[in-house]
Amino acid sequence: MYNEQKEQSYIHYITNCTRAHNIDNISRTKAYQNFFVDFPEIKWAFVASMVSRNAGWNMTDLHLPPFQKILSDKERSRLFMTYERANWLIFSDAYPQLLVYKLSLSSKKPMFYLLKEYNASQFMINEWYHFWKSNNQERLMIALIINEQNVIQTPVIKQPFFKHHVFHKFPYLLQDSLFMNAVILPTRSPKLYGAFVHDFTNVTKRIELGKKIAGIIYSPNIFPTLIEFALTNEHTGSRIDYEIYLNMTLPKSPMLRLLYPVISHQDIIRNDWSKSRGVKKKWLQHHNASTKKSDIGSAFYKKRNMLYAYYHLKNIVTSV
């Protein structure tokens, strides 16, 4: 009876804590980062915080003049919901895993069986037990990258509404073909690391991108500059968070909480993707990331400048 009560108290704690931090992109990003500060051995948590910052910047980009001019209100709303749904789903799956790890440490025994309560994949439950025994931080990080990209594959990427109204529409296809989108890893200097996003609907490509981003983040010469930025620059969802360090004049992007209300998400019954789709061997391979081409700031902002040039040209044409 005592053990049952204790287990219920754990479940109550995990559920409430996850719900409290899964309010919006800002709260999720902070929760990942704070967890990493407390448990730096969980390397995925910092990767997740940096990628989540990018989700917030993508959301507020939709309110910049070029996007307002080029996209309809409906298109911008649908793109926002795509970012928001994926951000919410990943957090709702991953954060209970992080909290169970935290409880396991305090209890001095693995408690990953609790993850069944949160419909975690059997793949991930096995990986947490393996990590508990081996402390293989790299393997756990890759496992979490694989897991979370598979978690969003059916309810976001292949979900009929998003598939038809977002991923098969011209704005997404154009952005994808021109490599307009990127995961930016900022520093407190004009140097921006990261990688361009392409073929986002392909789960294998997203996993490879995740491993590439992780490889850049944990490069010995890059990591100190990224963690310094993260710890000294509050995430607001505005690109001003890092653009203040760039040697260029840029339009000020607004802060996320001034633009969007809190979205109420309907949870779904999650099927275990690892049982239905299986785990590809190549997903598990380490990514030998070269950081030579990871300084992408100038390339990214050249593409942004092209977008603004098109916007101004369109304004001139429509005003004539």
Report whether 54 contacts 184 (CB < 8 A): yes
Q: Could you tell me which residues are beta bridge partners of residue 193?
A: 185, 295
Report whether 45 contacts 287 (CB < 8 A): no
CA-based nearest residue to 158, from 225, 221, 150? 150
pLDDT of residue 320: 47
Which residue stretches of the chain have pLDDT < 50?
Answer: 320
Tell the burial category of 266 from Cβ atoms under 10 Å away from its Cβ (0-12, 13-18, 19+): exposed
